[in-house]
Amino acid sequence: MVGPAPQPAPTIKPNVRPTISAKSRITTRRERPVVTAIVRDRDSELRRGNITVKLDGRTARKGVRYAVASDRLTVQPVKPLKNGRHKVVITARDARGAVASKTIRIRVR
């Protein structure tokens, strides 16, 4: 008697972290500079809820937009930034829990 053919082992994809593409440094005279980044994940579709943005250590909720169709994130401070150095940290977490982070340093003159 011949039993059923053995099934191939399921293919398990390694979890690849999301990617964040943006300039690392920005120098500007604008008090409310616009920071843009491409944030994508090849294994799943990211949503705004998968992305956190911190400006100078504080979570930014207003002034942050994410277009799912183009994977484009824009960040514009609501309040003017003072002259000097500032830091934006973008963190993306995909559905499987993989995390990517990008730091952008801004200098306002």
29 lies in which domain range? 25-108
Digit-coded pLDDT (tens) for 14-26 = 678 999 999 999 9
Between residues 72 and 6, which one has the greater pLDDT? 72
Asked if residue 15 is part of any domain, the answer here is no
Could you give the number of structural domains in the chain? 1
Question: Hunting for tokens 């005279």 — which residue is that?
Answer: 29
Question: Any idea what the CATH number is for the domain that residue 74 is in?
Answer: 2.60.40.10
Question: Which amino acid is residue 90, in one-letter code?
Answer: I
Asked whether residue 45 is assigned to any structural domain, the reply reads: yes
User: What's the pTM value of the predicted model, to 2 decimals?
Assistant: 0.85
Strands 58-59 and 51-55: antiparallel
Which carries the bigger pLDDT value, residue 28 or residue 12? Answer: 28
More confident residue, 107 or 1: 107
Asked if residue 31 is part of any domain, the answer here is: yes
Band the pLDDT of 13: cuts 50, 70, 90. low
Q: pLDDT above 70 covers what percent of the chain?
A: 93
